[in-house]
Amino acid sequence: MSKFDWNDLQAFLALARAGRLTVAAQQMGVDHSTLSRRIAALENAMGVPLFERRKEGFVLTPEGGRLADDAVAVEALTLRMRSRLEDESAGLTGKVRIGTPEGFGTYFLAPRIARISDAYPGLEIELVANPRNFSLSKREADLAVGMAPPPDGRVYARKLVDYALALYASRDYCEGHAPIRSRDDLEQHRWVGYVDDLMWTQELNYLPQVSGNIAPPLHISNVISQMSAIAGGAGIGVLPLYMARREPALVRILPDEIHLTRAYWLITHADTRDFARVKLMSSFIDEELAAAGKEFWLE
């Protein structure tokens, strides 16, 4: 049995989370051959295979699964020690990654991110604005904004803000189609909705709240592209008010009759939530929302 190397354990944990060699190598900042050698060295040191190589990627063996539990515990201990040792000034340097839905990240957070970058030039900020849930346990982000609190895991979730949504269409669409005077008229019109199997949270399943008989002919996987399509005359769709008000081609449909509400939640991991840079970013988001929170309701 070879000597155990703790650096190989980090490589193992990265591959266990990613499932693919190239993805794990990229996350660790090494080439895939280096990562492969580290995994082979660890398997040699442990005396057992830790992964099965399948077409869909690397899958943990039973021995690998048991080691993964221990590796996560070691990582958590390391992170807690680092959190206790770092002082406030040291914590305001380094990298912090924020995962957000594409609308919140693009239309709310991105225009404001310069303020914290200017105030803390030693902080490297990564804003990942994608239509997906982020796994903090897999270190996909240091903190995340979601549309619902996670059902489980060693995470903390608190509501950031409620926001309003409404029906919109373009002025050209409204002028060229039958008038919409009541909810009953909506079923006669063309709709834009989400791609069902790419709907990353059920919180996006708006249309049943509008009518049970709406079947959109156009499906788009993210809200920014939906808004562009609706503004271009593709049909009627559900959009957040804080986004739609920025698009002059849009008009609100049945404003007195149809109101929808959702919420954004801030999610942090138990192991990293006390890091100074994570607390700083959480406070920054809170402060910006306190200053502009009514934007999520007012038309």
DSSP state string for 40-52: HHHHHHHTS--EE
Are 56 and 96 part of one and the same domain?
A: no
Is 1 a domain residue?
Answer: no
pTM of the model: 0.75
For the range 122-127, what are the long-range contacts, defined as Cβ-Cβ under 8 Å and sequence gap of 24 or more? 122/92, 122/93, 122/94, 123/92, 123/93, 123/94, 123/96, 123/277, 123/280, 124/94, 124/95, 124/96, 125/95, 125/96, 125/97, 125/98, 125/281, 126/95, 126/96, 126/97, 126/98, 127/97, 127/98, 127/100
Is 298 a domain residue?
Answer: no
Is 137 a domain residue?
Answer: yes
Place of tokens 């769709």: 237
Backbone angles phi, psi at 147, to 5 degrees: -95, 0
Report which of residues 30 and 251 the model is more confident about.
Answer: 251
pLDDT digits (tens, 9 = 90+) for 72-110: 777 776 766 665 555 444 557 788 999 999 999 999 999
Are 125 and 170 part of one and the same domain?
A: no
pLDDT digits (tens, 9 = 90+) for 244-277: 999 999 999 999 999 999 999 999 998 888 888 8
Q: How is the chain split among helix, strand and coil, in percent rounded to 5?
A: 45, 20, 30
- Cα end-to-end distance, the chain, whole Å: 67
**For residue 83, what pLDDT is reported?**
58
Predicted confidence band of residue 118 (pLDDT cuts 50, 70, 90): very high
Report which of residues 70 and 191 the model is more confident about.
Answer: 191
Domain span holding position 146? 88-159+264-293
Are 272 and 138 part of one and the same domain?
A: yes
Are 22 and 66 part of one and the same domain?
A: yes
The count of structural domains within the chain is 3
Are 178 and 153 part of one and the same domain?
A: no
Asked whether the beta carbons of 258 and 275 are under 8 A apart, the reply is: no
Last residue of a domain, one of 85, 104, 131: 85
Are 207 and 286 part of one and the same domain?
A: no
Are 151 and 268 part of one and the same domain?
A: yes
Please tell me what DSSP assigns to residue 175.
H
Is 241 a domain residue?
Answer: yes
Please tell me what DSSP assigns to residue 139.
T
**For residue 86, what pLDDT is reported?**
58
Is 299 a domain residue?
Answer: no
Query: Could you tell me the sign of the dihedral formed by the alpha carbons of 82, 14, 154, 131, in that order?
Result: positive
Asked whether the beta carbons of 241 and 165 are under 8 A apart, the reply is: yes
Are 258 and 191 part of one and the same domain?
A: yes
pLDDT digits (tens, 9 = 90+) for 199-245: 999 999 999 999 988 999 999 999 999 999 999 999 999 999 999 99
d(CA 179, CA 175): 8
What are the structure tokens assigned to 71, written together? 């590796």
